[in-house]
A = this chain, B = another copy of it.
Amino acid sequence: MKEVKVLLKDDEIPRQWYNVQADLPTPMPPPLHPGTGQPLAPEDMARIFPMNLIEQEMSLERWIDIPEEVLEKLLLWRPSPLSRAYNFERILDSPVKIYYKNEGLSPAGSHKPNTAVAQAYYNKIFGIKRISTETGAGQWGSALSMACNMFGIECRVFMVRVSYDQKPYRRLMMQTWGADCFPSPSEITETGRRILADNPDSPGSLGIAISEAIEDIMDKEDCRYALGSVLNHVVLHQTIIGLEAHRQMEKIGVYPDVVIGCAGGGSNFAGLALPFVRDKIHGREVSVVAAEPTSCPTLTRGPYAYDFGDLAMTTPLLAMYTLGHDYVPAPIHAGGLRYHGMAPIVSHLVKERLVEPRAYNQLETFDAGVKWARAEGFIPAPETNHAIAAVVEEARRAKEEGREKTILFNWSGHGLVDLASYDAYLSGKLVNYSLPDEDIKRAKETVSRFPKP
C-alpha cells in the first residue's frame, strides 16, 4: 500500500520559528517613519503592537523559541500532514511527484491561526485585554477571534461591509468564537461615523477597516492592533509550516525541486518557503515560486519601492513590491490575494532572485482547483488555487522536458466557505482580469514621492 501522508507526532512539532533575516546575503531595507523618513524605532510602534511582538518584528536572531503555551494550542491541529497527491499526479500525466502541506485542517480552515495564536499569546502576556483588527473576506478575522478566545482576550473585528453582508459564514465563525464583528464603516469609530455621514450606504474597504481598527485601540493602554500578514513577525510565525515540511521530507528521504505557495500578503508562501530558501542561500538547488493573480500582480509587475501598507497611510513605509497603496484590485474571488503590496521579506527575496514570482489568471486557477477537488477530495480556497495552477504549470513543463521533478506546495486553506466562487466558475460567470500598463505607470508615480530603498 502506498503511503499517502507523512505525519509528525505531537512531540516532533518544531520548537523554534525560523527567521530568514539571519541568513540573508544582503540586509533588508528597514521600515521608515513616514514623518521623518528615518528608520523606525521600536517605540514608534508601541501604541499599535505590544513590545514583545515589536522586538520579534525587528529581531535578527536565526531561531526564536515558540512558547510552550503557543505550542499547546497549535497542537490542536498541528503538525499538519504532508500528503502526496497521487490522484492529482495521475490526471496530470506528468513525471512529477507532488507533495502538499494541508493547512486547511485547522479549525478556521487555513494557515492563519498559526500566527493568530502566537499574536494572541504575546498580547496576553503583555497585559493586553482587547485586540482590534480588520478583515476582508474574513479568514484573518476568524482566526484571530478563535485565538483571542483561547487566551481570554476580547477581540473586535472590523469587517468590510460588503463582505459582512455577502459572506455571513466567516462573520458567524467569529461570533461563534465570541468576537465582536462590526461591519465597516461602523458607528463605533470617528472614522466610521464620518464616512457614514457622507455616505450611509458605503460598502467599506480594507483601508477604511484598518483605519477603524487602529483608531479603536489608539491611546488605550490595554488595547492593541493585530495584522494577519505582511509583517516580519507574522511571516516568522508561519515558518512552522516549512519547518514541519522540511522534517517530513527528510523522513522519507525526498527533497523538492520546486517549492510553491500563493502570495497575497506573503505569509503562507513564506511560511512554507523560508526553510527551503535557507537551503538555497547555502547552495542547495531548489526553485521557489510565488504564485499571484494577474489582476493583482504585485511581484511580477509592480515597482520595488517604499510604500505604505494601507490606504490611509497610517503604517510605516515598507520596502516592497507594490501596486501603490491606493490601488484597488479587481474583485477576484481570491480575496486574500487582493493586496497592493507584499511582505518586505518576500519582496526582498524576489529582488535577490531567490524567489521567482509568477502570475495566474482567475479562470486557470479555478480550472486547477476543480481538477484538484475532483482528484484529491479536498476543495481548495480560491487563493490556494493559484498555487495549484503553478503546480499544473510545473507538471506541464516537466512533461515537455521529460524530466522527473518533485514539487512541494502549500495547500493554504479549504474553500468550503467560498463555494459561491465555485458556483460562479462552474456556471461560466467568472472572468479574467488583467492590469492595464496605465496602472503600473500610476503605481510608479504614487511611490515616486517616497524615499528609495
Which residues in A have some Cβ–Cβ distance to B below 8 Å? 1-5, 7, 9-11, 68, 71-73, 75-77, 83, 86-87, 105-109, 113, 146, 149-150, 168-169, 172-173, 175-178, 370, 373-379, 416-417, 419-420, 422-423, 426
Contact = CB atoms under 8 A, between A and B. Distances in A.
Contacts of A173: 379, 416, 419
Contact of A4 (B76, B107, B370): B76
A83 B87 contact: no
Contact of A176 (B5, B71, B422): B422
- Smallest CB-CB A-B distances: 10 pairs: A107-B377, A172-B419, A4-B75, A107-B378, A176-B422, A3-B10, A169-B419, A172-B423, A149-B374, A76-B377
Contacts of A68: 1
Nearest to A176: B422
Given A9-B7, A10-B4, A378-B107, A150 B416 contact: no
Per assembly, the copies of the chain total 2
A376 B416 contact: no
Contacts of A373: 107, 176-177
B419 A75 contact: no
**Which secondary structure dominates chain A's binding surface?**
helix
Contacts of A176: 370, 373-374, 379, 419, 422, 426
A168 to B, nearest CB: 7
A373 B145 CA distance: 11
A346 to B, nearest CB: 28
Contacts of A177: 373-374, 379
Contacts of A4: 10, 72, 75-76
Contacts of A376: 76, 107
A361 to B, nearest CB: 20
B175 A422 contact: yes
A149 B177 CA distance: 35
A176 to B, nearest CB: 5
Contact of A105 (B105, B178, B417): B105
B422 A377 contact: no
24 contacts: A1-B72, A2-B72, A3-B11, A4-B72, A4-B75, A4-B76, A5-B75, A72-B86, A73-B377, A76-B83, A76-B377, A105-B105, A107-B378, A113-B377, A146-B377, A168-B423, A172-B420, A175-B423, A176-B422, A177-B374, A177-B379, A416-B416, A416-B417, A417-B417
